[in-house]
Amino acid sequence: MSADRREWPLYEVFVRGKRGLNHVHVGSLHAPDDAMALRHARDVYTRRNEGVSIWVVRADAITASSPDEKDPLFAPNGDKVYRHPTFYEIPENVPHM
């Protein structure tokens, strides 16, 4: 296969919706470069008026935890319920909690 037939790299897309405080992963797409990835994300993932901000990042730039590490990484926190701030009542006049 010649160099001209290379696949475009994969990008992961994060969109902040009108109601969202943070960018949420919405999917992935292919694009030739960063700027075009942003345009593609706009075209593919915000066409129903969902978004006010987009992040794109090359998928190969993401370092992910491995499923093999699941137990050492996450299991130790499974029995530490006292780390949740659930042992007091929220006053009624505090909104959006």
Residues that bind another protein (CB under 8 A): 4, 8, 16-22, 29-32, 35-36, 39-40, 43-44, 47-50, 52-53, 96
3-state secondary structure 39-80: HHHHHHHCCCCCEEEEEEEEHHHCCCCCHHHHHHHHHHHCCC
CA–CA gap between residue 44 and residue 33 (Å, rounded): 16
Q: How far is the CB of 87 from another protein (least distance, A)?
A: 26
Q: How far is the CB of 45 from another protein (least distance, A)?
A: 10
Q: How far is the CB of 49 from another protein (least distance, A)?
A: 3
